[in-house]
Amino acid sequence: MNNELMASIAAQIPEDSGIKIPPNIFLEMDGEITDYTPGQSLVAKFPVKERYQNPFGFMQGGMVVAAVDNTIGPLSMLVAPPSVTAQLNTTYIRPIDADQDFITITATVVERTKRTLHLQADVRNGAGKLCVKCFASCSII
């Protein structure tokens, strides 16, 4: 599914724009898109790597947010290309333990206005427990 959706995003962007799809950070984080409902939601999975751990052995909050941005970004580009994340509010509910193999992020469109796309994202651990809740605004360029 990654290749199909990334190709769909890339097809909407002028070749001379310099925009790289998929972005290097998505590849670096070994992101995998697992589900897409056109215009509504996108689900992605990211491994919990040892190098992402904070001093307490949990997945570093910034890496969690990077995974979220790597999920809402493709959704926003599929719904309203081109668009960029303008604001991302994050609430941490429970830590993501080092013994988790992966996290799953479900990004959903909340509302679309003429110039802004409002999204939310839920981050769940391998056991399906909610760990992080995010709300994002993306500017449609």
- The residue extents of the domains of the chain are 2-140
Rounded to 10 deg, the angle between the 61-79 and 2-11 helix axes is: 60
Vertex 79: Cα angle to 31 and 8 (nearest 5): 60
More confident residue, 5 or 57: 57
The CATH fold assigned to 2-140 is Thiol Ester Dehydrase; Chain A (3.10.129)
Q: Is 90 exceeded by the pLDDT of residue 8?
A: no
- Which residues, other chains included, contact 109 with Cβ-Cβ below 8 Å and sequence gap of 6+? 39, 40, 41, 75, 79, 117, 118, 119
Q: What is the pLDDT of residue 81?
A: 85
CA distance 33 to 54: 25
pLDDT tens string 44-65 = 999 999 999 999 999 999 999 9
What is the mean predicted confidence (pLDDT) over 112-124? Answer: 97
- Which residues, other chains included, contact 125 with Cβ-Cβ below 8 Å and sequence gap of 6+? 94, 96, 97, 100, 103, 131
Q: What is the pLDDT of residue 14?
A: 73
The pTM of this model reads 0.92
Average pLDDT along the chain:
93
For a pLDDT cut of 90, what percent of the chain falls above it?
80
CB atoms within 10 A of CB 75: 31
Q: Is 90 exceeded by the pLDDT of residue 11?
A: no
Query: Residues for the chain: how many in total?
Result: 141
Q: What is the pLDDT of residue 1?
A: 67
pLDDT tens string 72-98 = 999 999 999 889 999 999 999 999 999
